[in-house]
Structures are given as structure tokens and as C-alpha cells.
């Protein structure tokens, strides 16, 4: 076990890349460098609000802190105190935001303290979000408010426990300072409590890090950043192509790297769709090269199943980042990433068809894995490499229509369906009655009821058969029920639940926050921790700010 003051920082990412020591202000363009060494801005009264024992283990830190360590953690993870050897820095990147090129962006309120290698040889970057201004703050204050900081902390840990690749949250520190934000962008800013979230990831490199260098024609630096990224985070690929400090980047390496990043991203999109997670801001600067979930802004979870829903009020009109569009947006972002790599090719025109083949493989991989995932959600064990039974595919297409015919709670539907399968009703009306709690209407319209009964009439014989039966099943319905419970969460971190925790914190109470932390650690279990949250979104949360949708104001 490592004590907090014993953390040893390394700087492999920036070691051989150009940077500069800078004052945080003014915001400015920084051509020719990858990072700026910049100090966090001190806060008045830091206090440790929440600590993740599971994330602490990634750094070999104690899961529980004593009083002295709690105070030290508050000082260190607010940026008020630097541990020995710590050299905070902010990186430069660009990005396409809502489909438009935004130019230079960068870590406007994030300070990377350094990398820490744990006893298992795993390296994690430690980053403070909300720790003050940097040269990339673009005129903003570099701070974050408590509501967005707590949302990021809870959601990153919830996504992890759902088994989805993500950055992690080590802790959340309140600052004792007020931060002025216009939450609704309606000309009525108001002060809110400030906070800082400490995030962990193998790297926070994102597609935008490469876009800015290509856009500014800084091709030599682009090549260095690409080589560094591959050597550090894609060692198998580096070994395959003999990439070393003195070797050049080949066309084949570029193709394989784009393919690897695309594969990881396709798999991530399948997982988001599986649990009903909507990122909300899928700009190219918010997508990781590792295919992990990063940058939890105005995210959301589907209450009623609606492929057109987005939690982001900024995106309310165009709905570019709506739930059902996320896989296509990821593909669009990857195409921008591929364009950023073209300057390193020996012949960029000849490389375009090869990159297009990679993107086509993304479509194929996502398509096959998405169908296989959807099949598992209703009890059929079908692997992506297998021929997909037409009967199951028909069930899934019909289910898509039924889930939107009336408001249907996604989480409740799938778990009630698996529970009903274990009970084995004798007819379609028994099936429908058993899942009726998932609907946001008291009585189904007669035509919708007929469609559901027809769907159950078609599905039941398939469930009772040995078609795509989970391995080892002796009872088809019981086996399918167990499979469904392993892929359909019983608990998801709905927005209104976090808002309830925020409301309590404003009154000096933290009971709901602690209850959520306990529940999110076992999201697939029907347990004493999760059962109180297995219910539909209440009516009061349908339109309330922070419950139905969120803004980018954080």
C-alpha cells in the first residue's frame, strides 16, 4: 500500500514532446507545443467530499483514509499543495464541436499532475478537473461547479461497475468558493458551490490532440505524438511494426492503428447502447483513442426508451448526439481522426481508400455486435461471428416499434421480462400483465396491447425452444433469464437520482449520495442497495432541470 505522500510521478507522455512553462493567463494560441506546464489555482477551503476505494486501489492508495490523510487529500486534489516531483501540465488539442471545426481547444480547466505506475505495472494519469485557468481556458475561469463535478464522479464510477471502459473518479473535493454559472443560458447567472474532480485514465489522449496538429500543418510534431501514443498505449502494435524512437511511421502502421482505435470505439458504442447511456457531447475532443468513456458533461440515461432523446439542452434542436445516433457520430468522428493522420502517409490519396476500408470494418463490427447484444438482452445467446437467426431479428425489429409505441421504461422492461421468464406464464396475457409496470401509461391503447400480445405469441415458442440457448442451460426459460440478468442492469444512475443527491447536499445531508454510491457498485443485482431505485422516473422529474436534461454549463 502506498501512502498519498509517497506517490511517485512519471512523465512518459510529455518527456520527449515539446512544451513550455507558462502562466495560466491570458488564454492564447500555443503553436509548436504539445503541453504547457501550469500551476493549479489555489482554493480557499478544500474539503474531501467523496473518495472511491475502488479507484484508489488503481494507485495502490488506501481504500479508507485516516483524518490526516483526508486533509492531505483535500490539499493535493484541490491543487493547493503539490507533492514532491509533481509537475502539473495542460495539453493542447482541437476538435469538431457539434460537427463544426472549433480550432484550438485544450485542457481549459484540467491539470494533469502526472502519471503513476502501480505495483501491477499499470500506468494512470491523474488529472484535476476544475483546478483553475490554463492557457487553454479561452477566457473562462477554469472552475467547475459541484453539480457537474458530482455527476462526473458518480457516473464514471457507475459506468465502470457496469463493465464499460471508462476513466475513473478518485475523489471529489469542494473548494469553499463560489463559481458563477448561467445554467440555462438565459441571462441569469448565479453563484454555485465550486468543486474539483480527480480523474484517472491510462491516458486522456483524445482524437482532437491529433486534429489540431494536422489542421495547423505541424506534421513533425504530429508524427512525434502519434509515435508516442502508439509506443505507450498500443505496445502490441508498436512491436508488430518495429516502432522505436528512431524508426519512421509507415502506412501499414497508420492503417492498423486507425483500425485498432475504430475497433475499440465500435465496442464502446455497443456498450453504451446496451445500458441506455447517452454521452450528450460526442465532439471529437471528447472521444478517447483507447475507446474508453471520458468527459462526462450533460450525459443522461434513458428512462423511457426513445432513440431520439438527448440529455443536452444545447443540442435540443438538432439532436445531433441523440441516443440512437451515437454509433454514427462515432464513425463520423473516426473519419475526422483518419483525416488527421493523412499528412503522415507516404501518399495521402492512396491512403484514403485504405482508411475507408477501416471505417467499413467499423460499420460491420458494430452492426454484428449490436445485433448480438440486442439478442442477449431478450435471452438469445448469439455470437457476433454467427449467422443471425431471422426469427430473432424479426423479434428485435418488432420490439423497437413496441418500445416507442407508448412510453416504456427501458431498465424496468428488460428486468421485468427476465423475471417473468423465470415465472413462465402460460399465455401472452400473462406475459404482458407481468411487465405492465414498465409502461408510463396506466392503460395501453387497444392496438398497442394487441401488438404486444402478438409479439409474445411469437416470442414464447422461441424462448421455450433450444434456439440460441445459453450454454449449460437445462431449462430454457431459466437459462435465458440468467443471461438477461447478466446484460440488463437492475440499476442505472438516472439523472433525477443525482439531482436528489444534490438537493440533499445543499441542505447539508449526504444520505442519498451515499446510497447511490452503494447501489452503483452492484448494478446487475436485485439487492437491498439497488431495490429502492427500481422504479420509473417520477412525474415531477419529467421536465425539472437536472432531471430530464442538462446544459453544458458546469
For residue 13, what pLDDT is reported? Answer: 97
Q: How far is CA 355 from CA 206, 236, 254, 337, 338, in A?
A: 19, 20, 9, 10, 7
Q: Closest by alpha carbon to 122, among 47, 175, 44, 59?
A: 59
**Beta carbons of 231 and 238 less than 8 angstroms apart:** yes
Cis peptide leading into residue 26 (ω within 30°): yes
Q: Residues 67-76: what's their mean pLDDT?
A: 98
The DSSP result for 242-285, as a single string, is T--TTSPPPHHHHHHHHHHHHHHHHHHHHHHHHHTEE-S---GG
Domain extent listing, the chain: 4-204, 208-375, 388-554
Question: Do the bridges between strand 123-129 and strand 168-181 make them parallel or antiparallel, or are there none, so unpaired?
Answer: unpaired
| pLDDT for residue 386 | 83
> How far, in Å, CA of 275 to CA of 138, rounded?
35
The predicted model gives 394-410 an average pLDDT of 98
Question: Given the DSSP bridges, would you call strands 190-201 and 123-129 parallel, antiparallel or unpaired?
Answer: antiparallel
Active site (annotated) includes residue 285: yes
Question: What is the dihedral sign for C-alpha 109, 497, 488, 282?
Answer: negative
∠ Cα 67 70 71 (to 5°): 95
Pairing of strands 35-37, 19-21: parallel
Given a contact cutoff of 8 angstroms between Cβ atoms, the answer to whether 132 and 109 are in contact is yes
**Which single residue is written with the C-alpha cell 440512437?**
324
pLDDT over threshold 80, residue 552: no
Q: Would you state the torsion angle of the CA atoms of residues 111, 497, 537, 418, taken in this order, to the nearest 10 degrees?
A: 90
Instruction: Tell me the Ramachandran region of residue 319: left when phi exceeds 0, alpha when psi lies from -120 to 50, beta otherwise.
Output: left
On the 0-12 / 13-18 / 19+ scale of CB atoms within 10 A, 108 is middle
Provide mean pLDDT across the span 162-173: 98
- Count of C-beta atoms within a 10 Å radius of residue 246: 5
Handedness of CA 180, 183, 188, 193 (dihedral sign): negative
Q: Model confidence at 183, in pLDDT bands (50, 70, 90)?
A: confident
Task: Please report the pLDDT score of residue 554 as a whole number.
Answer: 59
Look at residue 339 in the predicted model and tell me its pLDDT. 98
pLDDT in tens, 303-312: 999 999 999 9
> Burial code of 295-308, b = ≥16 C-beta within 10 A, e = fewer?
bbbbbbbbbbbbee
Length of the chain: 554
Chain centroid, CA 181 distance in Å: 24
At 169 the three-state DSSP class reads strand
Residue 247 pLDDT > 90: no
- Model pTM? 0.97
- Distance (Å, whole) CA 159 – CA 521: 10
Name the active-site residue from 107, 256, 285, 409: 285
In 10 A of CB 182, how many CB atoms? 12
Write down the pLDDT at residue 553. Answer: 64
Confidence of residue 188 (pLDDT cuts 50, 70, 90): confident
The percent of residues above 90 in pLDDT, for the chain, comes to: 94
Place of cell 488564454: 27
Instruction: Assess whether pLDDT exceeds 80 at residue 237.
Output: yes
Distance CA 352, CA 465 (A): 47
DSSP 3-state of 462: helix
Over residues 514-521, mean pLDDT: 98
Three-state SS for 504-545 is HHHCCCCHHHHHHHHHCCCCCCCCCCCHHHCCCCCHHHCCCC
- Lowest mean pLDDT: which of 76-90, 241-255, 353-367? 241-255
What mean pLDDT do residues 405-434 have?
A: 97
Cα dihedral sign, 191-193-194-198: negative
Q: Is 33 helix (H, G, I), strand (E, B) or coil?
A: coil
Amino acid at each position: 500500500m502506498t501512502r498519498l505522500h509517497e506517490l511517485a510521478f512519471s512523465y512518459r507522455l510529455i518527456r520527449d514532446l515539446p512544451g513550455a512553462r507558462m502562466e495560466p493567463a491570458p488564454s492564447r494560441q500555443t503553436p509548436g507545443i504539445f503541453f504547457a506546464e501550469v500551476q493549479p489555482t489555489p482554493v480557499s477551503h478544500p474539503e474531501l467530499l467523496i473518495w472511491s476505494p475502488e479507484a484508489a486501489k488503481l494507485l495502490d492508495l488506501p481504500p479508507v483514509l485516516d483524518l490526516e490523510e483526508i486533509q492531505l487529500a483535500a490539499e493535493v486534489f484541490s491543487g493547493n499543495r503539490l507533492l514532491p516531483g509533481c509537475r502539473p501540465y495542460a495539453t493542447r488539442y482541437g476538435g469538431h464541436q457539434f460537427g463544426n471545426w472549433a480550432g484550438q481547444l485544450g485542457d481549459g480547466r484540467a491539470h494533469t499532475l502526472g502519471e503513476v505506475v502501480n505495483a501491477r505495472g499499470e500506468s494512470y494519469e491523474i488529472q484535476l478537473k476544475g483546478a483553475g485557468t490554463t492557457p487553454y481556458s479561452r477566457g473562462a475561469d477554469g472552475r467547475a461547479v459541484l453539480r457537474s463535478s458530482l455527476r462526473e464522479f458518480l457516473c464514471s464510477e457507475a459506468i465502470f461497475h457496469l463493465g464499460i471502459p471508462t476513466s475513473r473518479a478518485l475523489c471529489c473535493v469542494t473548494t469553499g468558493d463560489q463559481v458563477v454559472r448561467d445554467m440555462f443560458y438565459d441571462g441569469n447567472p448565479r453563484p454555485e458551490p465550486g468543486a474539483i474532480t480527480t480523474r484517472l485514465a491510462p491516458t486522456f489522449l483524445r482524437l482532437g490532440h491529433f486534429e489540431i496538429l494536422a489542421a495547423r500543418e505541424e506534421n513533425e510534431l504530429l508524427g512525434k505524438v502519434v509515435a508516442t501514443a502508439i509506443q505507450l498505449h498500443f505496445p502490441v502494435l508498436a512491436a508488430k511494426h518495429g516502432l522505436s524512437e528512431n524508426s519512421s511511421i509507415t502506412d501499414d502502421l497508420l492503417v492498423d492503428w486507425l483500425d485498432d482505435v475504430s475497433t475499440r470505439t465500435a465496442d464502446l458504442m455497443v456498450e453504451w447502447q446496451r445500458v441506455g447511456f447517452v454521452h450528450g457531447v460526442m465532439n471529437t475532443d471528447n472521444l478517447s483513442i483507447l475507446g474508453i468513456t471520458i468527459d462526462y458533461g450533460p450525459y443522461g440515461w434513458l428512462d423511457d426508451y426513445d432513440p431520439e432523446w438527448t440529455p443536452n439542452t444545447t443540442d435540443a434542436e438538432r439532436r445531433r448526439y441523440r441516443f440512437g445516433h451515437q454509433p454514427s457520430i462515432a464513425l463520423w468522428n473516426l473519419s475526422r481522426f483518419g483525416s488527421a493522420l493523412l499528412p503522415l502517409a507516404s501518399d495521402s490519396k492512396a491512403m484514403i481508400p485504405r482508411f475507408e476500408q477501416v471505417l467499413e470494418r467499423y460499420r460491420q463490427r458494430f452492426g454484428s455486435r449490436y445485433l448480438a447484444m440486442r439478442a442477449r438482452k431478450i435471452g438469445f445467446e448469439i455470437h457476433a461471428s454467427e449467422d443471425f437467426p431471422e426469427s430473432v431479428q424479426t423479434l428485435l425489429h418488432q420490439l423497437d416499434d413496441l418500445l416507442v409505441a407508448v412510453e416504456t421504461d427501458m431498465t424496468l422492461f428488460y428486468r421485468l421480462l427476465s423475471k417473468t421468464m423465470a415465472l413462465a406464464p402460460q399465455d401472452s396475457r400473462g406475459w404482458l400483465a407481468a411487465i405492465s409496470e414498465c409502461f408510463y401509461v396506466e392503460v395501453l391503447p387497444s392496438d398497442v396491447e394487441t401488438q404486444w400480445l402478438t409479439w409474445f405469441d411469437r416470442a414464447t415458442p422461441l424462448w421455450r425452444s433450444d434456439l440460441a440457448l445459453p450454454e449449460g442451460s437445462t431449462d430454457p426459460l431459466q437459462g435465458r433469464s440468467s443471461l438477461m440478468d447478466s446484460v440488463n442492469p437492475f440499476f442505472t444512475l438516472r439523472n433525477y437520482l443525482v439531482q436528489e443527491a444534490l438537493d440533499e447536499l445543499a441542505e447539508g445531508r449526504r444520505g442519498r449520495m451515499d446510497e447511490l454510491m452503494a447501489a452503483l457498485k452492484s448494478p446487475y443485482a436485485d439487492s437491498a442497495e439497488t431495490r429502492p431505485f427500481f422504479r420509473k422516473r417520477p412525474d415531477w422529474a419529467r421536465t425539472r432541470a437536472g432531471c430530464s436534461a442538462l446544459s453544458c454549463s458546469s
